[in-house]
């Protein structure tokens, strides 16, 4: 998925004391970054202070749009890879996936302004399909995360925070080009007019392919050069209309429309190659978010939403992509698999500051998911529908001037409503429940440094795919699957040394039980998903940045992750490197010119029990010229050394890629 990204890297031991916050550029000529939509920010603890303050963001990582743009991260997957504890990978469908301290996207769900946006059927998200063009920031919590997110935050949560205008007119636009016939364009327009505001965004990104490294060795399914069947087209429209009647009240209605078309490059291993194309991967959303003051002590917040997800994958017999595959292993029904899903739900949250020293938050969540599968003849093959309810309670307690205690509890219930599959009659399964709790103690050593310790017990209820998918006839369903559970412990330190330096460090451990994983040969040669996994994930994260002079900024982040499969030690945990190191150098020789170098190192990772992918290091370079406060020109190269590496077996990453872009900001 070649883009204007800086493909970064992590490695072991060396710069383990520094880690990068990768803050946004500080050039006087640049216009200010857009405001975050505060209603879309989910607080980990308390809300008595601004969303960006240290006190209200106890253990969350935050990427602002300046950091994302500076590193040329055009999709959410590449942007998240800037953070410690997060590693990028690809799955068997060549979709961009992430792991947060070893937890995958089903276990660390994606939200937009606090609203869940993961696909109802399997809980996964292709992070390459989500543009960063209209975002203000990305929040990430790991382990200890706000109960206000609701159910299924087993390993944390990822929240995309949209924009809110603060001026009468705000606008920006970009156009760009990159290797592989890639073109991108985006525009954002916002206006604040007294008690109302409007924000709109458009983004388009297309690519015919991406270049493989010159050292790639051709196979029977990939001849090298431009990657086969790697085209894509992504467009996104976002609209928000807001009302600010006064007294802190706010009401906002948002609409999103995403349309995607993509090909799946075949595995370079001929035995594993699949010839798939997606004629559409679409999402349409309507969100309403509000905050209403109830007197001087209480505030009522509402998030209501409806998402439609539609996609089709066509499976072909060979690389000509002319004959649909209709039979045999790996076929997709009649050659076309059509999914039509929707989610609708609401979150009602009551926050009270009535008791001195307490920020008390109660919330109730209701979410309904529906998944429908159809074949090429529009015949319905399966319909599944679930109801998910959650009730949460959180309290942030100021024990003293420098001590804060966070407490939280939640009860979650999954109720199957409809279970229909052609030729496979089911009785309606029983409901499943899961209970979460957490506590954290935070101590401010001074105004700019903090120590914290947290303990959290979180759960994930099984997805529709976990329970019902037969995976093209090779699996037996298991509607009786129970929730996964994890217990997280963490100690950490954060400090800001004036305006020149910052440091963060964390030691963490997560014990997972009832992990849902595949068991082979349950009946004959058919496998089944079962609650048998016992896994321990532990490690450390280090981040820091230092302004050596007014002209030079250094940044680094290091992640070490130790994964142990305690239930079946012979089965490896895949797709996650043990070490990741990011390094960044930014030079400002003059006020209107900037040069940056960004390096990422990953240690080796296991792709299966028998296949280990080599570690790698990539280096990206960029030069930027700011003609004035409005106009900037950038050019650079990703993977300068043209390194041949892969994040998944059979799916090599892009080689050397040149890019250029022109941006305007009003």
Question: Is the pLDDT assigned to residue 73 strictly greater than 70?
Answer: yes
Residue 37 confidence (pLDDT): 87
Question: Is the pLDDT assigned to residue 623 strictly greater than 90?
Answer: yes
Residue 26 confidence (pLDDT): 31
Residue 520 confidence (pLDDT): 84
Residue 33 confidence (pLDDT): 61
Q: Give 604's contacts (C-beta < 8 A, 6+ positions apart).
A: 577, 578, 612, 613, 614, 615
d(C-alpha 176, C-alpha 663), whole Å: 9
Lowest mean pLDDT among 145-149, 298-302, 324-328, 417-421: 324-328
Residue 56 confidence (pLDDT): 41
d(C-alpha 652, C-alpha 215), whole Å: 11
Residue 36 confidence (pLDDT): 85
Question: Is the pLDDT assigned to residue 437 strictly greater than 60?
Answer: yes
Residue 555: count of CB within 10 angstroms of its CB: 25
pLDDT band, residue 159 (cuts 50/70/90)? very high
Q: What is the mean pLDDT of residues 106-126?
A: 92
Higher pLDDT, 194 or 25: 194
Residue 48 confidence (pLDDT): 44
d(C-alpha 272, C-alpha 259), whole Å: 28
pLDDT band, residue 327 (cuts 50/70/90)? low
Question: Is the pLDDT assigned to residue 25 strictly greater than 80?
Answer: no
How much is the mean pLDDT over the chain? 89
Question: Is the pLDDT assigned to residue 473 strictly greater than 50?
Answer: yes
Higher pLDDT, 54 or 256: 256
Strands (E), 23-120: 61-64, 86-90, 96-100, 110-112, 115-116
Residue 547 confidence (pLDDT): 93
Residue 424: count of CB within 10 angstroms of its CB: 11
Residue 392 confidence (pLDDT): 97
Q: What is the DSSP string of 552-576?
A: EEEEEEEEEEEEEESS-TTSPP-S-
Higher pLDDT, 500 or 639: 639
Residue 550 confidence (pLDDT): 86
Domain extent listing, the chain = 38-665
Reported as a single tens digit per residue, the pLDDT across 380-399 is: 888 999 999 999 999 999 99
Q: What is the mean pLDDT of residues 421-438?
A: 87
Question: Is the pLDDT assigned to residue 362 strictly greater than 80?
Answer: yes
pLDDT band, residue 51 (cuts 50/70/90)? very low
Using alpha carbons, select from 526, 371, 388 the residue that is nearest to residue 464. 371
Q: What is the mean pLDDT of residues 606-622?
A: 96
- Residue 364, token pair as written in the block: 């109730």
d(C-alpha 234, C-alpha 100), whole Å: 25
Residue 43 confidence (pLDDT): 78
Question: Is the pLDDT assigned to residue 103 strictly greater than 50?
Answer: yes
What DSSP element (H or E) covers 369?
A: strand 358-374
Question: Is the pLDDT assigned to residue 370 strictly greater than 90?
Answer: yes
Question: Is the pLDDT assigned to residue 58 strictly greater than 60?
Answer: no
CB-based contact 449:469 (threshold 8 Å): no
Q: What is the mean pLDDT of residues 355-372?
A: 95
Question: Is the pLDDT assigned to residue 291 strictly greater than 80?
Answer: yes
Question: Is the pLDDT assigned to residue 55 strictly greater than 60?
Answer: no
Higher pLDDT, 517 or 226: 226
Q: What is the mean pLDDT of residues 131-147?
A: 94
Question: Is the pLDDT assigned to residue 301 strictly greater than 60?
Answer: yes
Question: Is the pLDDT assigned to residue 120 strictly greater than 90?
Answer: no
Residue 30 confidence (pLDDT): 40
Q: Which CATH number fits domain 38-665: 3.40.50.720, 2.40.170.20, 2.160.10.10, 1.10.150.120?
A: 2.40.170.20
- Residue 500, token pair as written in the block: 């020149």
């Amino acid at each position: 998925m070649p883009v204007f990204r800086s493909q970064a890297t992590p490695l072991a031991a060396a710069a383990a004391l520094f880690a990068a916050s990768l803050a946004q550029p500080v050039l006087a000529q640049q216009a200010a970054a857009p405001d975050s939509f505060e209603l879309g920010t989910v607080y980990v603890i308390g809300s008595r202070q601004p969303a960006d303050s240290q006190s209200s963001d106890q253990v969350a990582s935050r990427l602002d749009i300046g950091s994302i743009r500076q590193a040329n991260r055009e999709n959410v997957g590449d942007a998240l890879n800037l953070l410690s504890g997060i590693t990028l990978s690809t799955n068997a469908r060549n979709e961009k996936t992430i792991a947060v301290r070893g937890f995958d996207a089903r276990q660390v769900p994606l939200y937009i302004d606090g609203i869940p946006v993961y696909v109802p059927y399997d809980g996964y998200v292709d992070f390459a399909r989500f543009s960063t063009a209209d975002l203000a920031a990305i929040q990430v919590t790991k382990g200890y995360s706000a109960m206000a997110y609701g159910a299924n935050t087993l390993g944390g949560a990822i929240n995309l925070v949209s924009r809110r205008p603060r001026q009468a007119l705000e606008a920006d636009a970009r156009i760009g080009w990159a290797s592989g016939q890639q073109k991108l364009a985006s525009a954002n327009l916002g206006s604040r007019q007294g008690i109302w505001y409007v924000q709109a965004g458009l983004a388009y990104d297309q690519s015919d392919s991406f270049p493989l490294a010159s050292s790639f060795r051709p196979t029977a399914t990939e001849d090298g050069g431009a990657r086969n069947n790697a085209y894509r087209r992504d467009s996104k429209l976002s609209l928000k209309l807001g009302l600010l009647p006064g007294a802190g009240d706010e009401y906002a209605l948002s609409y999103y429309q995403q349309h995607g078309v993509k090909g799946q490059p075949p595995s370079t291993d001929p035995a594993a190659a699949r010839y798939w194309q997606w004629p559409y991967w679409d999402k349409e959303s309507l969100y309403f978010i509000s905050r209403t003051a109830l007197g001087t002590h209480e505030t009522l917040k509402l998030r209501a939403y409806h998402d439609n997800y539609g996609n089709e994958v066509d499976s072909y017999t060979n690389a000509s992509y002319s004959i649909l595959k209709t039979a045999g292993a790996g076929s997709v029904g009649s050659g076309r698999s059509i999914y039509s899903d929707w989610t609708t739900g609401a979150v009602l949250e009551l926050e009270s500051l009535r008791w001195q020293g307490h920020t008390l938050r109660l919330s109730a969540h209701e979410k309904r998911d529906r998944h429908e599968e159809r074949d090429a003849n529009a015949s319905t093959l399966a319909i599944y529908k679930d109801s998910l309810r959650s009730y949460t309670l959180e309290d942030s307690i100021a024990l003293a001037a420098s001590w804060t205690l966070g407490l939280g509890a939640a009860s979650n219930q999954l109720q199957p409503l409809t279970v229909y599959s052609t030729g496979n009659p089911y009785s309606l399964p029983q409901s499943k429940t899961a209970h979460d709790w957490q506590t954290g103690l935070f101590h401010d050593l001074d105004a700019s440094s903090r120590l914290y310790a947290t303990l959290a017990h979180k759960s994930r209820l099984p997805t529709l795919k976990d329970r019902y998918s037969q995976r093209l006839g090779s699996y037996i369903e298991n509607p009786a699957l129970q929730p996964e559970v994890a217990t997280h412990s963490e100690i950490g330190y954060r400090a800001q040394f004036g305006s020149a330096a910052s440091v963060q460090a964390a030691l963490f451990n997560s014990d997972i039980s009832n992990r849902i994983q595949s068991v082979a040969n349950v009946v004959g040669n058919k496998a089944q998903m079962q609650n048998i996994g016992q896994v321990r994930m532990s490690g450390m994260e280090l981040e820091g940045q230092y302004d050596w002079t007014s002209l030079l900024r250094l940044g680094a982040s290091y992640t070490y992750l130790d994964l142990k499969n305690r239930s079946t030690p012979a089965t490896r945990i895949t797709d996650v490197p043990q070490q990741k190191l990011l390094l960044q150098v930014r030079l400002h020789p003059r006020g209107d010119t900037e040069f940056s170098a960004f390096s990422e190192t990953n240690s080796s990772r296991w792709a299966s029990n028998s296949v280990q992918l080599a570690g790698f290091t990539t280096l990206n370079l960029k030069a930027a010229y700011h003609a004035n406060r409005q106009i900037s020109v950038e050019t650079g190269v990703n993977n300068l050394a043209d390194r041949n590496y892969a994040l998944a077996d059979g799916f090599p990453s892009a080689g050397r890629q040149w890019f250029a872009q022109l941006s305007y900001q009003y």
